């Protein structure tokens, strides 16, 4: 029940941002996994809300150290398959994924869905992020 309420709240939040999103549903053994393509503004709205989420940066370590969004967890897209099971153990947690321009984040989001993660939101690249960022390792 809590999951349904959370999804409804999240859907309302996305609707109120006034931006359209693309949704791809993929059937998995555990049910239907959802991968959403959203805007940076929609991601910021989720981050500023009360929803529990993981912010996932899928770029390289060097790119991350140069500039990243505060609170982001770094798992390079080439390491998702190996590291996600240990570092992202709850497959139902909302995951917000970004990279530099949106190519690697889409690839990582699709891989996460294939791995059984049920609520994955790809907001593209940090190039489109107009909000605060930080430098160095956290």
Domain segments of the chain as ranges: 2-128
Q: What is the mean pLDDT of residues 7-27?
A: 43
Give the architecture-level CATH label for domain 2-128.
3-Layer(aba) Sandwich (3.40)
**Is the entire prediction scored with pTM above 0.85?**
no
- Residue 126 makes CB contacts below 8 A (sequence gap 6+) with 57, 59, 67, 68, 69, 98, 99, 100, 133
Which residues are annotated as catalytic?
99
Q: Give residue 32's pLDDT.
A: 62
Nearest to 79 by CA among 96, 52, 56: 56
**92: which 2 tokens?**
């139902």
Q: Which residue has the higher pLDDT, 111 or 7?
A: 111
Q: Give residue 22's pLDDT.
A: 52
pLDDT digits (tens, 9 = 90+) for 28-74: 445 566 679 999 999 999 999 999 999 999 999 999 999 999 999 99
């Amino acid at each position: 029940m809590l999951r349904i309420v959370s999804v409804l709240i999240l859907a309302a939040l996305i609707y109120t941002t006034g931006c359209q999103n693309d949704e791809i549903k993929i059937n998995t053994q555990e049910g239907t996994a959802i991968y959403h393509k959203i805007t940076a503004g929609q991601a910021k709205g989720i981050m500023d809300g009360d929803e529990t989420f993981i912010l996932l940066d899928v770029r390289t370590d060097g790119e991350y150290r140069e500039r990243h969004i505060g609170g982001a967890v770094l798992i390079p897209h080439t390491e998702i398959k190996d590291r996600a099971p240990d570092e992202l153990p709850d497959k139902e947690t909302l995951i917000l994924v970004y990279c530099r321009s949106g190519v690697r984040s889409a690839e990582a989001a699709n891989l996460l869905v294939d791995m059984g993660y049920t609520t994955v939101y790809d907001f593209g690249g940090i190039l489109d992020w107009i909000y605060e960022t930080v430098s160095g390792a956290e």
